[in-house]
């Protein structure tokens, strides 16, 4: 397992190993001595951070993770504007060149679905997909899954409501794939008509030991949830079906205090962020709002992913 293109690449043992490494790295980061040790662990290794699309959490947490482990970072945050893509260079050519620079990993985000696979096909350097169009966002889904495990203490037998723009949201797609690796999970896909979860993902869940349902009823879905995973409308991404571009500017499914009251008391709200108007600000201070803690977990999961990339590439 060299590249990380999709949630498909991770087996349950891989995930268990990754989460164990994540916990170790978190533990080590707690005191000054551990942090100093960590900051020297990977001196001499560099990570390339290549973002063709805007990012806050993914790019900065990968870069923070690199810095905290002593790795150098070579970065371009607006690659669609500042890289040779402007001059017409293909992803493949850009990647072939970056592969020559001996990075421990290339972390790439791109607006085209499938771009991560195209890039990975021409490099030996571990390629980490930081989101490709409407495709996947496996590292976000791994930190989402880690958060679910942290909260619930298990990854089986959970009712997870995944709501919002499921047609264009890549994090929801990758998370559903990861949850489908476990047993007896019930995934409730909640979306407006026209924004349903893709058939490819539904097939993955249907052929696993888990089930899915689709609904447009917010109240029914929330009342049964252990986890509520919310997503924003991906306004910047065109819909596949013509005529639907810009159809939906704002979500009509809002998590507010009333929605929290419908949820079972034990249920938590997650969100990959950024959130726009689909969660009201007064929810932020509720103890069941887990999205900032969830984002914080990204740092340690991504440290573990970079550690793994170094091991894969250099065998150390
Ligand atoms: C997500 C993404 O880029 O897909 N953001 C993230 O990485 N946390 C979600 C989004 O943009 O809606």
CB 137 near ligand 1, within 6 Å: yes
Predicted local distance difference test score (pLDDT) of residue 232: 94
Length of the chain: 316
The encoded tokens of residue 200 equal 């490819």
The CA 38 to ligand 1 mean position distance, Å, reads 28
Active site residue 58: yes
Arithmetic mean of pLDDT, 111-130: 97
**178: closest CA among 150, 130, 143, 153?**
143
> What is the three-class DSSP state of 93?
helix
Q: Bigger pLDDT: 241 or 142?
A: 142
DSSP label at 289?
Answer: B
Predicted local distance difference test score (pLDDT) of residue 240: 66
Distance CA 201, CA 174 (A): 9
Distance CA 144, CA 310 (A): 23
Q: If pLDDT is split at 50, 70 and 90, which confidence band does 65 have?
A: very high
**195: closest CA among 225, 219, 173?**
173
Distance CA 142, CA 30 (A): 22
Give me the DSSP letters along 239-274: PSSTT-TTS--S-S--B-HHHHHHS-TT-EEE--S-
Distance CA 134, CA 37 (A): 39
Predicted local distance difference test score (pLDDT) of residue 247: 54
Using the structure block, give the residue that is written with the tokens 């507010």.
256
Predicted local distance difference test score (pLDDT) of residue 249: 57
Q: Which ligand 1 atom sits nearest the alpha carbon of residue 137?
A: 4
**169: closest CA among 127, 231, 105?**
231
Distance CA 125, CA 312 (A): 9
Arithmetic mean of pLDDT, 109-120: 97
The encoded tokens of residue 296 equal 């914080």
Active site residue 271: no
Distance CA 297, CA 291 (A): 10
Burial bucket for residue 213 (CB in 10 Å: 0-12, 13-18, 19+): middle
The encoded tokens of residue 218 equal 């917010």
Residue 243 region, left (φ>0) first, then alpha (ψ -120 to 50), else beta? Answer: left
**16: closest CA among 144, 123, 149, 111?**
149
| % of the chain at pLDDT higher than 90 | 88
Q: Bigger pLDDT: 139 or 247?
A: 139
Predicted local distance difference test score (pLDDT) of residue 176: 98
**Residue 212 reports pLDDT greater than 80:** yes
Burial bucket for residue 114 (CB in 10 Å: 0-12, 13-18, 19+): middle
**Residue 183 reports pLDDT greater than 70:** yes
The encoded tokens of residue 145 equal 């899954």
Q: pLDDT digit string (tens) for 34-56?
A: 999 999 999 999 999 999 999 99
Could you tell me if 38 and 278 are in contact, meaning their C-beta atoms sit under 8 angstroms apart? no
Return the H-helix or E-strand segment holding 189: strand 186-190
Q: What are phi and psi of 140, to 5 degrees?
A: -65, -45
Predicted local distance difference test score (pLDDT) of residue 243: 46
Q: What is the dihedral of CA 78, 1, 167, 94, to 10 degrees?
A: 30
**Residue 277 reports pLDDT greater than 50:** yes
The CA 66 to ligand 1 mean position distance, Å, reads 20
Q: pLDDT digit string (tens) for 230-254?
A: 999 998 887 765 445 455 556 779 9
The CA 170 to ligand 1 mean position distance, Å, reads 8
CB 131 near ligand 1, within 6 Å: yes
CB 289 near ligand 1, within 6 Å: no
Distance CA 189, CA 177 (A): 13
Predicted local distance difference test score (pLDDT) of residue 79: 82
Q: What are phi and psi of 7, to 5 degrees?
A: -60, -20
Q: What is the dihedral of CA 261, 266, 270, 276, to 10 degrees?
A: 10
Predicted local distance difference test score (pLDDT) of residue 239: 76
Q: What is the mean pLDDT of the chain?
A: 94
């Amino acid at each position: 397992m060299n590249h990380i293109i999709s949630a498909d690449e991770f087996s349950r043992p891989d995930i268990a190993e990754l989460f164990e490494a994540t916990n170790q790295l978190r533990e080590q980061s707690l005191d000054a001595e551990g942090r100093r040790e960590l900051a020297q662990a990977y001196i001499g290794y560099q990570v390339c951070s290549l973002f063709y699309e805007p990012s806050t959490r993914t790019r900065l947490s990968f870069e923070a993770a690199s810095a905290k482990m002593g790795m150098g970072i070579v970065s371009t945050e607006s690659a669609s504007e500042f890289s040779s893509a402007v001059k017409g260079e293909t992803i493949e050519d850009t990647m072939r060149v970056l592969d020559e620079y001996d990075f421990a990993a290339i972390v790439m985000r791109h607006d085209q679905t499938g771009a991560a696979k195209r890039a990975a096909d021409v490099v030996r350097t571990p390629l980490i997909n930081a989101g490709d169009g409407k495709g996947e966002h496996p590292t976000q889904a791994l930190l989402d899954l880690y958060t679910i495990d942290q909260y619930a203490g298990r990854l089986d037998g959970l009712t997870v409501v995944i709501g919002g723009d499921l047609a264009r949201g890549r994090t929801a797609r990758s998370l559903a794939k990861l949850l489908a690796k476990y047993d007896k999970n019930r995934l409730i896909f909640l979306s407006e008509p026209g924004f349903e979860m893709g058939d490819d993902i539904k097939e993955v869940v249907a052929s696993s030991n888990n089930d899915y349902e689709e609904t447009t009823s917010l109240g029914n879905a929330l009342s049964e949830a252990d986890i509520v995973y919310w997503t924003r409308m991906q306004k910047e991404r065109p819909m596949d079906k013509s005529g639907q571009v810009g159809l939906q500017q704002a979500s009509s499914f809002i998590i507010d205090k009333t929605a929290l009251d419908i949820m079972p008391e034990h249920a938590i709200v997650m969100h990959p962020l950024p959130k726009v108007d689909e969660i009201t600000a007064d929810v932020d201070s509720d103890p069941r709002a887990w999205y900032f803690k969830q984002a914080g977990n990204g740092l340690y999961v991504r440290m573990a992913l970079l550690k793994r990339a170094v091991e894969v590439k250099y065998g150390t």
